[in-house]
């Protein structure tokens, strides 16, 4: 009997190949042909799954988001239950930064995705929806913490949400060795300590 092809598995292997090329060589090198070669499939086979680089990148980002969610879940599992919102935010922020090889690869693919979305209307919409959903999740957590008395009621949840998201801007600074990992973590910790401490 012919071997059954697991289409999801094949698409994921292509996503991994894309990650590898973007991580090691940059998005400009991630042509359909190069990704096919890295994935060990023919160009025709790759095009059976993805008709364009943009489509391939969009799937790779969805898969990266799943992997990031898994890492966040693993980080949450070792926290006190129920976890304090400060600890939840720290886990999320740390997993979004390129501090480990897997997170670095997804961070670089994310950067390529945002740049590509600047000139592709379909990707632009997908990126915007994903970022709005992520921001809404953080704001819900912040508002709940205010409601529970863990954050001062004097703080504006919308502004605090934007300040938290601004911490993800450490990604390019870390990639370019402008900021050391320990310095980025110290800044995250100090910001969260201020947020969850008495209002100044």
64-119: pLDDT as tens digits: 888 888 889 999 999 888 999 999 999 999 999 999 888 888 888 888 888 888 88
Total structural domains within the chain: 1
Q: Looking at the domain assignment, is residue 15 inside a domain?
A: no
Q: Looking at the domain assignment, is residue 2 inside a domain?
A: no
pLDDT digits (tens, 9 = 90+) for 23-65: 888 888 889 999 999 999 999 999 999 998 888 888 888 888 8
Q: Looking at the domain assignment, is residue 43 inside a domain?
A: no
The answer to whether residue 1 scores a pLDDT higher than 80 is no
The answer to whether residue 198 scores a pLDDT higher than 80 is no
Report the pLDDT value the prediction gives residue 63, as an integer from 0 to 100. Answer: 83
Report the pLDDT value the prediction gives residue 6, as an integer from 0 to 100. Answer: 73
Q: Looking at the domain assignment, is residue 169 inside a domain?
A: yes
Distance CA 109, CA 21 (A): 10
Copy the structure tokens of residue 160: 């605090």
Q: Looking at the domain assignment, is residue 187 inside a domain?
A: yes
Tell me, what CATH number does 107's domain have? 1.10.357.10
Q: Looking at the domain assignment, is residue 84 inside a domain?
A: yes
Residue range of the domain that includes 182? 52-196
Distance CA 58, CA 110 (A): 10
Q: Looking at the domain assignment, is residue 8 inside a domain?
A: no
């Amino acid at each position: 009997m012919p071997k059954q092809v697991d289409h999801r598995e094949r698409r994921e292997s292509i996503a991994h190949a894309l990650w590898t090329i973007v991580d090691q060589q940059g998005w400009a090198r991630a042509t359909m042909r190069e990704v096919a070669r890295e994935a060990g499939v023919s160009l025709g086979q790759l095009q059976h799954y993805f008709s364009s680089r943009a489509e391939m990148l969009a799937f790779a980002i969805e898969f990266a988001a799943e992997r990031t969610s898994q890492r966040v879940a693993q980080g949450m599992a070792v926290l006190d239950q129920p976890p304090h919102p400060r600890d939840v935010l720290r886990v999320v922020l740390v997993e979004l930064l390129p501090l480990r090889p897997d997170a670095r690869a997804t961070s670089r693919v994310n950067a390529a995705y945002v740049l590509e979305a600047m000139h592709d209307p379909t990707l632009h919409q997908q990126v915007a929806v994903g970022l709005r959903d992520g921001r809404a999740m953080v704001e819900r957590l912040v508002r709940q913490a205010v409601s529970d008395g863990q954050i001062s009621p004097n703080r504006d949840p919308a502004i605090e949400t934007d300040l938290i998201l601004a911490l993800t801007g450490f990604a390019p600074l870390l990639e370019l060795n402008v900021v050391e990992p320990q310095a980025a973590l110290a800044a995250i910790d100090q910001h969260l300590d201020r947020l969850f401490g008495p209002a100044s």
